[in-house]
Amino acid sequence: MSDKIKITIDGKAIEAELGQTILEAADAAGIYIPRLCAHKDLLPIGSCRVCTVIVDGRPQASCVKPVMDGMVIENDTEELLQHRRNIIDMMFVEGNHFCMFCEKSGNCELQALAYRFGITAPQYPFQFPEKDVDASHPDILLDHNRCIMCARCVRASQELDGKNVFQSIGRGFDRKIGVNGEKALGDTDMDVNDKAADICPVGCIIKKRVGFETPYGERLYDKEPIGSDIEKGATA
Amino acid sequence: MSEMKAVVNNICKEFGNDRTRLMDIVRGVQEKLGYVPPEAFELIAEKAHTHRVEVESVVSFYAFLSDKKRGKMVIRLCDDIIDRFQGGEDVAKALSKELGIGFGETTEDGKVTLEKTACIGMSDQAPAMMVNDVMVTNLTVEKIPEIIAKLRETEDPQSLVTECGDSNNAHELVRAMVNNNIREGGPVILSNHRRGGGLRKALTQTPEEVIEDVKGAGLRGRGGAGFLTGFKWELTRKAAGTEKFVLCNADEGEPGTFKDRVLLTERPDLMLEGMTVAAYAIGAETGIIYLRAEYAYLRAFLEDVLNRRREDNLLGINILGNEGFNFDVRIQMGAGAYVCGEETSLIKSCEGTRGDPTDRTPFPVVAGYMVSPTAVNNVESYCCAARIMDMGAGWFSSIGTARSAGTKVLSVCGDCDRPGIYEVPFGTKLRDLLQRVGAEDVAAVQVGGPSGQMVGPAQFDQEISFEELATGGAIMIFSNQRDILEVVEAFMEFFVDESCGYCVPCRVGNVLLKSRIARVRNGEGSPDDLAYLHRLGESVKRMSRCGLGQTSPNPVLSTLKNFRPVYNALVRENTTGRLKSFHIMKAVEQASQIADRRSEVFHA
């Protein structure tokens, strides 16, 4: 069916298919490359940079970089671990995150990544930016304090829901997720059953009236570290 | 409200209700109404077949676009470090005082809005500002009252131009007070040459032969990256696709760089000749000049050059009688975004969206503008290509060094007697250049602008070339009277302002770098802070998505390397275990305000 090629990740030879990204090939081989903005149902955009690997000496976001025969890839190195940790820290300090009472705690991919990296507190100073909370929608809460600008919601709305509810606005540190309405999310055609309502890796998009249905301690990443499913699912 | 509707309708219609011309549409609306009102978003979206939030996304991205009502005249004072060192901060105060408003504000009568902006490409005649599209150079505190009085009286920024600059700056379609300041010409670009000679010769060859010549000449991209131009053309030619494009990067945004301003003023035909050669070589019928918003004062002049070339059959159908060779060029105006100098951002901007860069697999040579094979080259690169066609690859490669053929047009500014344009052969030693420009007591030179590197006297014997000191044109000179870290902080401020915010390391990392540099400058840093700056800088450099983030830590990293004693003199080992940068009074200030009482323990 597809063309099989060979690549090497951290010295381990694995088989990949042409057309796959490095991330997809690694997943299939049971090698976990940490990621945040990437999602299996969405086109990759390479914005968080957590999944950066070194390909033939050059840093590349593995979620967007297609595999090529003979690629030599570094993933689990001291240098990359440090850089990835630094990026995760950056995401914590650029927003206002409060894991201890966030509805997403335990299901949050940012929190889970921090645990996997052994981060107990970010090394950078908190920036404490002033961010909006948009509660205008009857069923959905949009809390920009917890947004990491992964644009999953932007893509999910376009690619999975056939809508265009979200888009990035502004630039630089003031960049934020805007909504396709006059003022707020309530002015858009967002529906609580939209795929975009379920795709947020952090606690920015929260559904109303269903909070804490699963208690802390029994949630996805309370049980095992993020990436475990990939590492266990090794087919090779 | 109905006026707004009519304006939007007309402008959308003018651009064929085409979503990919959204940049022109919102620029057009702003030109007519002074801003792009949020009420217009929906209407524009409807006409141009897009979504309201997409329009907001574009308007909120570009510094020169605004969704808030502004004055009839917008003053944008250049806030580059070169301008600041030449008295720009005093000029800023004088402007503020004379207008009675702060920066970011509009006068009560709605006439003038006052803003600061990044380098406007006038570093050789700083301080400078723009009033709408009009450049006002060589500002002094003394001139400000008269300038403001005149603006109030005439409400016409052009009235400030009482004397035009040299050469084409005095052209009736330019009429700018800008001066070229060409100090030294070189054999390739700033010398006399036959008009059209290169194109005529190119048309006697096959496209493949043209590409071989450009490759053989060893021409490398003049924007700074130094990619082999001929190779880029070859990839574009060979890429699959029925439609191909030639784009010219005239978005000269690197602070301290102004050589393209002069080339656009004095060598527009040579640039267009190079673009036409490129079109012939790769098989393109459409070209775009992406002109930075700051150079809008050259737009009418450039449109006229295009028209003349059409009349002379140097553009258009069957160029110079060459059956089937059709090529024409349009100008795409930018709207104030440094990142759009990055080729993938530039392409997005030409397509009418915000200028977020895209991933470079695929590369633009394969899938660029409109997902078609696209060659993006710098203004100067096209000029060089035209000259290579005329004079031969061997002639070109005989100038310069082994791996850096030809000359480089440099824009020299800062602490020297003769700032301006110097076209020098690659391989020229920095020390020689400093002597020629009349720079004494030089402490540091920023080669290549903020994204380049800062070098000290120990590196002055290096040569200007891709091998040693690479530059897209900027040479910023700082005397030993200047505070190096003030420069570094200003550069980091620039990158914070200009980051598109797409990827985490650039969006956040630059903010963190800037604030830590400020801590060190304030004398509140310890040696640990230097290690922190280094680690953080490396992460931003290695992990960022595009060239902006990959080079933004360079001011920090290159000074940590080349000016370590400056840092060492400022930091002290922390022996108390308490952070010197932590101020308890400041920390409790907000809480005191909220509680409406002062702290019992910590108060003055």
CATH number of domain containing A202: 3.30.70.20
Would you say residue A226 lies in a domain? no
Digit-coded pLDDT (tens) for A165-200:
999 999 999 999 999 999 999 999 999 999 999 999
Contact across the interface for A149 and B54, Cβ inside 8 Å: no
Q: Out of A45, A164, A170, name the one closest to residue B60 (CB).
A: A170
Which of A27, A54, A76 is the last residue before a domain boundary? A76
Q: Percent of chain B having pLDDT more than 90?
A: 93
Amino acid at A90: M
Contact across the interface for A49 and B503, Cβ inside 8 Å: yes
**DSSP bridge pairs for B320:** none
Indicate the number of domains in chain A.
2
In chain B, ranges of CATH 1.20.1440.230 domains: 485-570
- Average pLDDT of span A56-82: 96
Domain B184-397 has CATH 1.10.287.1770: no
Contacts of B580 in chain A (CB under 8 A): none
Average model confidence (pLDDT) for chain A? 95
Interface probe, candidates B36, B39, B67, B503, chain A, greatest A C-beta count within 10 A: B503
**Is A83 an 8 Å CB contact of chain B?**
yes
**Is A19 an 8 Å CB contact of chain B?**
no
pLDDT of residue A2: 62
Which residue, B79, B38, B73, B30, is CA-closest to B490? B79
Residues 6+ apart with CB under 8 A from B339: B345, B355, B356, B357, B498, B499, B500, B546, B548
Q: Out of A127, A149, A180, name the one closest to residue B53 (CB).
A: A180
- Average pLDDT of span B391-410: 97
Q: Are the CB atoms for B64 and B113 separated by under 8 Å?
A: no
Q: Is the pLDDT assigned to residue B360 strictly greater than 90?
A: no
**Is A64 an 8 Å CB contact of chain B?**
yes
Contact across the interface for A171 and B500, Cβ inside 8 Å: yes
Average model confidence (pLDDT) for chain B? 96
Cα(B59)–Cα(B579) distance, rounded to whole angstroms? 42
In chain B, ranges of CATH 3.40.50.11540 domains: 184-397
Q: Are residues A98 and A201 in the same domain?
A: yes
Three-state SS at B388:
helix
- Average pLDDT of span B81-87: 98
Digit-coded pLDDT (tens) for B470-485:
999 999 999 999 999 9
Q: Are residues A72 and A90 in the same domain?
A: no
Exposure string over B555-589, b if 16+ CB within 10 A, otherwise e:
bbbbbbebbeebbeebbeeeeeeeebbeeeeeebe
Q: Is the pLDDT assigned to residue B601 strictly greater than 90?
A: no
Contact across the interface for A83 and B543, Cβ inside 8 Å: yes
pLDDT of residue B305: 98
**Is A179 an 8 Å CB contact of chain B?**
yes
Distance from CA of B580 to the nearest CA of A (A): 14
Q: Are the CB atoms for A186 and B73 separated by under 8 Å?
A: no
Contacts of A48 in chain B (CB under 8 A): 503-504
Does this complex have an ipTM over 0.85?
yes
pLDDT of residue B47: 96
Contacts of B499 in chain A (CB under 8 A): 171-173
Would you say residue A97 lies in a domain? yes
Q: Is the pLDDT assigned to residue B218 strictly greater than 90?
A: yes
Q: Out of A59, A66, A168, name the one closest to residue B542 (CB).
A: A59
Contacts of A166 in chain B (CB under 8 A): 53
A residues 184-203 lying closer than 8 A (beta carbon) to B: none
Q: Are the CB atoms for B519 and B528 separated by under 8 Å?
A: no
- Average pLDDT of span A213-234: 92
Q: Is the pLDDT assigned to residue A235 strictly greater than 60?
A: no
Cα(B350)–Cα(B210) distance, rounded to whole angstroms? 27
CATH number of B73-162: 3.40.30.10
**Is A65 an 8 Å CB contact of chain B?**
yes
Would you say residue A216 lies in a domain? no
Contact across the interface for B359 and A46, Cβ inside 8 Å: yes
Q: Is the pLDDT assigned to residue B586 strictly greater than 90?
A: no
Q: Percent of chain B having pLDDT more than 70?
A: 100
Q: Are residues A134 and A62 in the same domain?
A: no
Q: How confident is the model at residue A8 (pLDDT cuts 50, 70, 90)?
A: very high
Interface probe, candidates A171, A176, A187, A189, chain B, greatest B C-beta count within 10 A: A171
Q: Is the pLDDT assigned to residue B81 strictly greater than 80?
A: yes
**DSSP bridge pairs for B414:** B477
Domain B485-570 has CATH 1.20.1440.230: yes
Interface of B with A (CB under 8 A): 38, 42, 51-54, 56-57, 60-61, 337, 354, 356, 359, 361, 496-505, 507-509, 511-512, 515, 535-536, 538-539, 542-545
Amino acid at B55: V
Q: Are residues A98 and A200 in the same domain?
A: yes
Distance from CA of A1 to the nearest CA of B (A): 24
Would you say residue A235 lies in a domain? no
User: Which tokens is B481 given?
Assistant: 């009277």
Q: Is the dihedral of CA B473, B451, B361, A55 positive or negative?
A: positive
Contacts of B501 in chain A (CB under 8 A): 149, 168, 170-175
pLDDT of residue B16: 97
In chain B, ranges of CATH 3.40.30.10 domains: 73-162
Digit-coded pLDDT (tens) for B4-48:
999 999 999 999 999 999 999 999 999 999 999 999 999 999 999
Q: Residue A91: which domain range?
A: 86-210
pLDDT of residue A236: 42
Interface probe, candidates A22, A86, A147, A179, chain B, greatest B C-beta count within 10 A: A86
Which residue, A85, A159, A97, is CA-closest to A127? A97
User: Which tokens is B300 given?
Assistant: 């009418």
Cα(A51)–Cα(A83) distance, rounded to whole angstroms? 10
Other C-beta atoms within 10 Å of B96: how many? 16
Residue of B nearest to A175 (CA): B501
Which of A41, A76, A111 is the last residue before a domain boundary? A76
- Average pLDDT of span B553-575: 96
Would you say residue A218 lies in a domain? no
Which residue, A47, A156, A154, is CA-closest to B499? A47
Contact across the interface for A181 and B60, Cβ inside 8 Å: no
pLDDT of residue B470: 94
A residues 149-168 lying closer than 8 A (beta carbon) to B: 149, 164, 166-168
Q: Is the pLDDT assigned to residue B1 strictly greater than 70?
A: no
Contact across the interface for A172 and B356, Cβ inside 8 Å: no
- Average pLDDT of span B385-393: 97
Distance from CA of B257 to the nearest CA of A (A): 23
Q: Are the CB atoms for A144 and A132 separated by under 8 Å?
A: yes
